[in-house]
Amino acid sequence: MGSSFHHFILVILCSSCLLGAVAAASSPKTRHFRWEVANMFWSPDCLENVVMGINGQFPGPTIRAKAGDTIVVHLTNKLHTEGLGIHWHGIRQFDTPWADGTASISQCAINPEETFVYRFKVDKAGTYFYHGHYGMQRSAGLYGSLVVDVADGEKEPFHYDGEFNILLSDWWHKNVHEQEVGLSSKPLRWIGEPQSILLNGRGQFNCSLAARLGNGSSSLCSLRADAQCAPQVLRVQPNKTYRLRIASTTSLSSLNLAIGNHKMVLVEADGNYIKPVAVDNIDIYSGESYSVLFTTDQNPSKNYWISASQRGRKPPVPPPGLTFLNYLPNSPSVPTSALPQSPAWDDITASKSFANKIVALLGLPTPPIRHDRRIFLLNTQNRIDGFIKWSINNVSLVLPSTPYLGSIKHKLKGAFDDKSPPETFSSNYDIRIPPVNPNATQSSGVYKIEFNTTVDVILQNTNALAANVSEIHPWHLHGHDFWVLGYGEGMYSEEKHGKQLNLKNPPLRNTVVIFPYGWTVIRFVADNPGVWAFHCHIEPHLHMGMGVIFAEAVDRVKNIPDEAIACGQTGKMFMHNHHG
């Protein structure tokens, strides 16, 4: 059945290579999608497993639209007993905060056999994605790409001849229900490293594509051309420039992407243009997206590897996820060259250097010069009744059963913890050592934010529970892009670091990392009424409480559809009014 590794025909990545003439300008469209979410058997990394798919596909269908379009997704839950919610990562949901897809925050989970209609505008061109935002359904495979082109008549500020899109993820053989139980157990059972890194949902477990490059091991792949785990090969013409869109929806892994022999030029981050900068490889954390340009100017008689390698976590880690550039008219056989070099897993200096290269393209909005409010968020690992949690200012987030958007809008009492979490932490906290008092509390409290205030958030990393451990956390903000004003090491100090912040050309992003023992400062304007999660995008960290909730000018939210909030106390309110 299977042909050998050397000869098999790989799946060709369907791309819009070599764009034709620009279509005539037309007004924005409403694009309708009918999706059914169900569990199904699938072999993401050549090993069969149960995967959460959409319309029988994994990853889910790619949404492609133009800036200004309206997306309408009729999402039907065909799971047997599980609720559901899908978040449109990077879409700000102006005027539609109930469409953000965060169960318990912006809406009730969609029950089995129910259909919820997501309707929202994609106002800005860029590389986005979507994913489940309930329990750990993202880890179960519920994700896909969302690409927004410039509106008709508009142009990107760079040229390319064709494009490709790669959505990165990581994959475990243990099902998410078991992962969840382990994370909620005392003692904690950590999920461990993923078995595979996937590119567009495709990886190779125990059968590295690149095995032949190693020590002559015999673990060669014997993939059928139509195998669900066969890599999508990027077919390119020589001497052209391509745009490669890359987004990461990993549960855990920080990745580094590189193309053998090819330089890349970064041009977009999280749906925002950046000042073009040449790089050899790119770091990409969960929740981030980039566009890079590369030119097919290398020896055209060869093919070239593309690798996505795990970073920041101590080996053993999974082998890199792989695919390759197939220079046409070569046959799509695997490259004979070495894998591209990624920095060592613990080369944090390279990571910081990469992060600091990213600044906004000239002409993009710059931040207000002053903040109106400043929130310090101390990231710590803690114990609560002996259970290991992640906490922010000593508070570990638990979500209420009634979505905040409804309970705050309708001023319901008791739907979540009244008390807002602290805005800062003790200046005596020693971030270099494990917490002296590791006990924390759990709360569903929110930060209330007034309309149009300029908010600075200082994310402060610390040492975890074990000595000499400080982890990377990519923080993602819903409903907003924010400016990244700066990164630094040690404890943030206004006197020492305030002056170093970049107010001139900070990049706009929706996700930003804090480095081990470091700090990151961001700024955003609270111009989008809604309830927005701001959280570590590592799925098990969020599950362990690593997030906060911004309740932003909710009094200004109008016309929440009843069906978004017909559960918990808002559901009871509807029933009460029914009898009253």
Which residues contact a second copy (rule: CB under 8 A)?
38-41, 50, 80-84, 108-109, 111-114, 134-137, 175, 177-178, 180-182, 184-185, 189, 399-401, 562-563, 566-568, 571-575, 577-579
Rounded to the nearest whole angstrom, what is the least distance from the CB of residue 78 to a second copy in the complex?
9
Closer to a second copy by CB, 182 or 238: give it. 182
Closer to a second copy by CB, 403 or 479: give it. 403
Helix, strand, or coil (residue 212): helix
Closer to a second copy by CB, 123 or 180: give it. 180
Nearest to 246, CA basis, from 228, 271, 227: 271
How is 349-375 classified by DSSP, letter by letter?
HHHHHHHHT--BPTTSPPPPSS-SEEE
Measured distance CA(502)–CA(388) in Å, rounded: 36
Rounded to the nearest whole angstrom, what is the least distance from the CB of residue 80 to a second copy in the complex?
4
Cβ atoms 106, 98 nearer than 8 A: yes
Closer to a second copy by CB, 124 or 133: give it. 133
Rounded to the nearest whole angstrom, what is the least distance from the CB of residue 471 to a second copy in the complex?
23
Q: Residue 126: which residues within 8 A CB-CB, separation 6 or more?
A: 90, 148, 268, 270, 271, 272, 289
Beta-strand pair 196-199/162-171: antiparallel
Rounded to the nearest whole angstrom, what is the least distance from the CB of residue 209 to a second copy in the complex?
28
Closer to a second copy by CB, 159 or 579: give it. 579
How is 23-65 classified by DSSP, letter by letter?
PPP----EEEEEEEEEEEEE-TTSS-EEEEEETTBSSPPPEEE
Phi, psi for residue 174 in degrees, rounded to 5: -80, 135
Closer to a second copy by CB, 23 or 41: give it. 41
Closer to a second copy by CB, 79 or 236: give it. 79
Nearest to 326, CA basis, from 43, 11, 2: 11
Beta-strand pair 86-89/11-12: unpaired
Beta-strand pair 530-536/473-477: antiparallel
Cross-strand bridge partners of residue 36: 76
Phi, psi for residue 501 in degrees, rounded to 5: -65, 145
Rounded to the nearest whole angstrom, what is the least distance from the CB of residue 158 to a second copy in the complex?
42
Rounded to the nearest whole angstrom, what is the least distance from the CB of residue 114 to a second copy in the complex?
5
Closer to a second copy by CB, 42 or 304: give it. 42
Cβ atoms 183, 139 nearer than 8 A: no
Rounded to the nearest whole angstrom, what is the least distance from the CB of residue 391 to a second copy in the complex?
20
Closer to a second copy by CB, 309 or 444: give it. 444
Rounded to the nearest whole angstrom, what is the least distance from the CB of residue 81 to a second copy in the complex?
4
Cβ atoms 93, 99 nearer than 8 A: yes
Rounded to the nearest whole angstrom, what is the least distance from the CB of residue 161 to a second copy in the complex?
42
